[in-house]
């Protein structure tokens, strides 16, 4: 059986700050779920082609791994590690 992810959930501390970060990566708002009570908001985003936006620090380098991929790691505004992967 091959697992195909439907979506990834990311909990953030500041929605507007994180929206700016993920939009700079090429994500676009798909839809929102209205909040009934409490501080939690749910926003669905889809990712198109990643844009060179200058949000990844200069010391981040992509590296090739034996599994046949090139990977790069960096952090979002909440310090969550993001991994970008592409086939070689």
Model-level pTM greater than 0.75? Answer: no
Q: What value does the mean pLDDT take over residues 61-83?
A: 84
Residue 87: what pLDDT? 81
Q: What value does the mean pLDDT take over residues 66-82?
A: 84
Per-residue pLDDT tens digits for 28-47: 888 888 777 766 677 777 76
Q: What value does the mean pLDDT take over residues 5-15?
A: 76
* Structure confidence at residue 50 as a pLDDT band (50, 70, 90): very low
Q: How many CA atoms lie within 13 A of 82 on its CB side?
A: 18
Domain boundaries, the chain: 15-53+60-87
């Amino acid at each position: 059986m091959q697992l195909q992810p439907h979506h990834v959930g990311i909990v953030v501390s500041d929605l507007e700050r994180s929206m700016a970060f993920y939009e700079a990566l090429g994500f676009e708002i798909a839809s929102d779920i209205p909040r009934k009570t409490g501080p939690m908001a749910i926003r669905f985003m889809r990712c198109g082609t990643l844009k060179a936006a200058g949000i990844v620090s200069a010391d981040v380098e992509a590296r090739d791994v034996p599994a046949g991929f090139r990977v790069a790691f960096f952090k979002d505004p909440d310090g969550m590690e993001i991994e970008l992967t592409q086939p070689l």
